[in-house]
């Protein structure tokens, strides 16, 4: 389901880019001809805009389920797909960063060969450029620590159900917590 949401988001991003280009071309053509009337193609543009709004509403309804998938301790692939979906939602402006950033911060704890800590750090760097005040806020650090705790508990519960070797999984201290504790 997360992979399908990601495909929908990517297709929607391409479609909205094409719509913006088409709208700009129509506006330029109208200005060049000196007419202020609407073109016939504007109706199809409005239909596409309504379809985009419907998809956005559906994605926002499922936002909490997508965020909870980031804390699923059973399969790293689910966390990875969820991270890609959250990244796409943040990039397109479909989700508020104050709600999503703590979950992404928590994924810094997902260390190991199958974990997605590096992907989470890359996503945080990408979002930091865009939402610096929200990413660097102390409240985001605390929320991220809480979500990180939930992820660690979920990973511990999943590893208890698996092999005994997986139960020896090391617990990591996330980089954002070190930053919070070592402020100068």
When comparing pLDDT for 37 and 108, which is higher? 108
Of residues 62, 50, 72, 134, the one with CA closest to residue 98: 134
- pLDDT of 105 reads 92
When comparing pLDDT for 159 and 78, which is higher? 78
The residue with tokens 């804390």 is: 71
The residue with tokens 């139960």 is: 167
- pLDDT of 42 reads 55
- pLDDT of 182 reads 63
> How many of the other CB atoms lie within 10 Å of CB of 143?
18
- How confident is residue 167, by pLDDT bands cut at 50, 70 and 90? very low
Region 124-141: what's the mean pLDDT? 88
**Whether the predicted pLDDT of 117 surpasses 70:** yes
- How confident is residue 165, by pLDDT bands cut at 50, 70 and 90? low
Region 36-64: what's the mean pLDDT? 71
Residue 154 neighbours by CB under 8 Å, 6+ apart = 71, 72, 73
CA 69, 70, 73, 75 torsion-angle sign: positive
Half-sphere exposure of 177 (CA within 13 A, CB side): 16
- pLDDT of 150 reads 92
User: What residue spans define the domains of the chain?
Assistant: 2-60, 62-181
């Amino acid at each position: 389901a997360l992979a399908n949401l990601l495909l929908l988001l990517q297709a929607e991003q391409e479609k909205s880019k094409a719509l913006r280009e088409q709208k700009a071309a129509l506006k330029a053509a109208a200005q060049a001809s000196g007419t202020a009337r609407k073109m016939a193609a504007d109706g199809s543009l409005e239909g596409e805009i309504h379809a985009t709004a419907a998809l956005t509403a559906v994605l926002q309804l499922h936002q909490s389920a997508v965020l909870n998938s980031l804390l699923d301790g059973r399969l790293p692939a689910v966390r990875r797909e969820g991270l890609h979906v959250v990244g796409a939602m943040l990039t397109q402006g479909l989700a508020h960063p104050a709600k999503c950033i703590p979950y992404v911060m928590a994924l810094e704890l997902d260390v190991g060969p199958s974990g997605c800590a590096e992907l989470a750090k890359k996503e945080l760097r990408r979002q930091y450029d865009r939402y610096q005040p929200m990413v660097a806020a102390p409240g985001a650090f605390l929320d991220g620590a809480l979500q990180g705790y939930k992820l660690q508990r979920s990973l511990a519960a999943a590893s208890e159900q698996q092999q005994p070797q997986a139960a020896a999984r090391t617990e990591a201290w996330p980089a954002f917590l070190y930053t919070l504790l070592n402020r100068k």
